[in-house]
């Protein structure tokens, strides 16, 4: 037994704000329901393979998203790997990706040998700019990945218009946006494949886990081939195409742990409530920002229904706050007990990996090798994302706020803003 277990000390990832004013949030991530299911599964020794709970979760997920196929995996990164592999992304290809996402959105494409080509974002929504996506398309582009970052939804009409015009598939990384919709359709069902992280701080958590959905039988079968070694013959195959390779597939294994998926199954049942509570709190704070000079909500495109709310970004305008630099404003909020932060993710073009390149496969091979024509990136190439990084403030994400939580947060924001 571990004595005096403190999840924050242990660096476990959780769904609630991790520090400052914790009394504002009453969310209990793990309830008796998850504990009971895990205990039952353990007693049944349902601990390995594509168990009934795993199958049930995959079925419920695809029905909820409105897609024909789904496959659960060890994490969100593996769900993206499965989708890229499903599409046949490989050496010589380029993949267009927003520059302000978490590295795991694009890393699997790099590991498959494809070159990342970053696009800029709208600094008001923090989401991929469809015009810049189009500007980055070349004859080598194999696919576009968009990210519904922080639970906000990309302008999918514009993204899909560009994609169709150039006959390119779109992968949606929905890791921040469980349950988000675009014009009534579930995010993840709009492009060729949807990918979700089910990691511990996500709106539906398996502890560690991921899932991919698609309507495309080839993408599904290839995703199974690459990560589902030795699943029961027949389950993964819809067509005859890859029969010869079953049941071992390509011998790689990304299978999710059934206990994690069991937890995620319970959490899926609570998602609507979680989204409702997070949305009400975020919308109340956003509405109240009108009384605070120098802060404004992010843009939500008409047709978008946010969900998941993995983060709560707002935009700071120093000029309207008597010139207070954003860093100084954030530090002042922290002193008042608000767990505000900046730049939870680095813009990817600033990382040495992508700025300078890297010999991924050694001996001068791989998509990031300068000797193979990789040009790298420089500061100034992504004005939208750079502006957003400099002026976006992340406020605490509350999952089950006490009734006046939004008012408490707004009062601190206003007091600090007016102190400059
Ligand atoms: C946007 C995005 N994509 C992908 C991932 C990768 O998910 P995982 O950590 O489950 O591998 C994350 C994780 O935080 C993420 O934020």
**Cα separation of 257 and 191, whole Å?**
27
For residue 73, being part of any structural domain is answered with yes
Which SS3 state, helix, strand or coil, does residue 276 take?
A: helix
Which residue has its alpha carbon closest to ligand 1 atom 3? Answer: 105
pLDDT score recorded for residue 10: 59
For residue 383, being part of any structural domain is answered with no
pLDDT score recorded for residue 2: 58
For residue 58, being part of any structural domain is answered with yes
What's the CATH code of the domain at 122?
3.40.640.10
Question: Mutate which of 104, 152, 311 to test ligand 1's pocket (most atoms within 8 Å of Cβ)?
Answer: 104
Tell whether ligand 1 has an atom less than 6 A from the beta carbon of residue 105. Answer: yes
pLDDT score recorded for residue 15: 78
Q: How far is the centre of ligand 1, averaged over its atoms, from the C-alpha of 210 (Å)?
A: 9
For residue 112, being part of any structural domain is answered with yes
- Whether residue 159 contacts residue 130, with contact meaning beta carbons closer than 8 Å, is answered with yes
**Cα separation of 97 and 101, whole Å?**
8
Q: How far is the centre of ligand 1, averaged over its atoms, from the C-alpha of 145 (Å)?
A: 13
Q: How far is the centre of ligand 1, averaged over its atoms, from the C-alpha of 21 (Å)?
A: 26
Question: Mutate which of 121, 153, 199, 263 to test ligand 1's pocket (most atoms within 8 Å of Cβ)?
Answer: 199
Q: How far is the centre of ligand 1, averaged over its atoms, from the C-alpha of 209 (Å)?
A: 10
| Residues facing 70 on adjacent strands | 213
For residue 92, the enclosing domain spans 32-265
pLDDT score recorded for residue 21: 63
For residue 260, being part of any structural domain is answered with yes
Element (H, E) at 55: helix 52-65
Q: How far is the centre of ligand 1, averaged over its atoms, from the C-alpha of 211 (Å)?
A: 11
The parts of the chain modelled with pLDDT lower than 50 are: 19
Q: How far is the centre of ligand 1, averaged over its atoms, from the C-alpha of 80 (Å)?
A: 9
Task: Supply 62's token pair.
Answer: 């695809």
pLDDT score recorded for residue 7: 55
Q: How far is the centre of ligand 1, averaged over its atoms, from the C-alpha of 149 (Å)?
A: 11
For residue 339, being part of any structural domain is answered with no
Tell whether ligand 1 has an atom less than 6 A from the beta carbon of residue 150. Answer: no
Tell whether ligand 1 has an atom less than 6 A from the beta carbon of residue 100. Answer: no
Q: Which string of DSSP letters, residue by residue, matches 18-31?
A: -SSSGGGB---SS-
Residue 323's region, left for phi above 0, alpha for psi from -120 to 50, else beta, is left
**Cα separation of 22 and 6, whole Å?**
15
Compute the radius of gyration of the chain from its Cα atoms.
Answer: 22
pLDDT score recorded for residue 20: 53
Number of domains the chain contains = 1
For residue 337, being part of any structural domain is answered with no
pLDDT in tens, 277-308: 999 999 999 999 999 999 999 999 999 999 99
**Cα separation of 177 and 34, whole Å?**
22
Task: Supply 246's token pair.
Answer: 């079953």
**Contacts by 400-406 with C-beta closer than 8 Å and gap 24+?**
400/25, 400/26, 400/27, 400/28, 400/274, 400/277, 401/24, 401/25, 401/26, 401/277, 401/281, 402/23, 402/24, 402/25, 402/26, 405/24, 405/25, 405/281, 406/281, 406/284, 406/285, 406/288
pLDDT score recorded for residue 13: 76
Tell whether ligand 1 has an atom less than 6 A from the beta carbon of residue 147. Answer: yes
Q: How far is the centre of ligand 1, averaged over its atoms, from the C-alpha of 147 (Å)?
A: 10
- Tell how far CA 161 is from the center of its chain: 22
Q: How far is the centre of ligand 1, averaged over its atoms, from the C-alpha of 44 (Å)?
A: 31
Q: How far is the centre of ligand 1, averaged over its atoms, from the C-alpha of 77 (Å)?
A: 6
Tell whether ligand 1 has an atom less than 6 A from the beta carbon of residue 172. Answer: no
pLDDT score recorded for residue 8: 55
Tell whether ligand 1 has an atom less than 6 A from the beta carbon of residue 175. Answer: yes
Tell whether ligand 1 has an atom less than 6 A from the beta carbon of residue 368. Answer: no
pTM for the model: 0.96
Q: What is the atom index within ligand 1 of the atom nearest the CA of 101? A: 1
178 burial type by CB count under 10 A (0-12 exposed, 13-18 middle, 19+ buried) = buried
Which residue has its alpha carbon closest to ligand 1 atom 8? Answer: 76
Tell whether ligand 1 has an atom less than 6 A from the beta carbon of residue 101. Answer: yes
For residue 381, being part of any structural domain is answered with no
pLDDT score recorded for residue 6: 61
CA distances from 338 to 20, 52, 324 (A): 6, 44, 17
């Amino acid at each position: 037994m571990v004595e005096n277990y403190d999840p924050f000390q242990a660096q476990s990832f959780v769904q609630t704000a991790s520090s400052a004013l914790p009394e504002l949030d009453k969310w209990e991530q793990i309830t008796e329901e998850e504990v009971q299911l895990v205990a039952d599964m353990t007693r049944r020794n349902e601990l390995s393979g594509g168990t009934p709970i795993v199958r049930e979760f995959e079925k419920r997920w695809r029905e909820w998203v409105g897609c024909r196929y789904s496959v659960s995996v060890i994490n969100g990164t593996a769900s993206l790997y499965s989708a890229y592999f499903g599409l046949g992304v490989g050496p010589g290809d380029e993949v267009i990706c927003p520059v302000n996402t978490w590295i795991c959105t694009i890393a699997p494409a790099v590991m498959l040998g494809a070159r990342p080509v970053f696009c800029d974002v709208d600094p008001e929504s923090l989401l991929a700019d469809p015009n810049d996506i189009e500007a980055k398309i070349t004859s080598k582009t194999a696919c576009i990945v968009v990210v519904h970052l922080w639970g906000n939804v990309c302008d999918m009409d514009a993204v899909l218009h560009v994609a169709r015009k150039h006959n390119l598939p779109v992968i949606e990384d929905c890791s921040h946006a469980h349950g988000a919709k675009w014009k009534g359709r579930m995010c993840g069902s709009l492009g060729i494949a949807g990918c979700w992280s089910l990691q511990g701080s996500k709106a539906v958590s398996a502890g560690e886990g991921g899932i991919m959905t698609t309507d495309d039988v080839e993408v599904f079968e290839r995703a199974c081939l690459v990560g589902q070694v030795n699943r029961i013959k027949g389950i993964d195959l819809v067509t005859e195409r890859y029969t010869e390779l079953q049941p071992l597939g390509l011998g790689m294994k990304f299978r999710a742990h059934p206990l994690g998926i069991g937890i995620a199954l319970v959490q899926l049942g609570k998602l609507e409530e979680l989204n409702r509570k997070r949305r009400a709190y975020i919308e109340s704070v956003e509405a109240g920002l009108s009384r605070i000079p120098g802060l404004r909500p992010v843009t939500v495109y008409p047709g978008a229904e946010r969900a998941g709310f993995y983060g709560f970004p707002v935009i700071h305008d120093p000029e309207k706050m008597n010139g207070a630099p954003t860093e100084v404003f954030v530090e002042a909020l922290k002193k008042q007990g608000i767990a505000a932060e900046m730049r939870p993710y680095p813009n990817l073009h600033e990382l040495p990996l992508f700025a300078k390149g890297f010999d991924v496969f050694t001996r001068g091979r791989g998509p990031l090798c300068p000797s193979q024509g990789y040009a790298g990136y420089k500061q100034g190439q992504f004005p939208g994302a750079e502006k957003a990084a400099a002026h976006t403030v992340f406020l605490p994400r509350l999952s089950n706020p006490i009734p006046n939580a939004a008012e408490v947060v707004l009062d601190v924001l206003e007091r600090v803003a007016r102190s400059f």
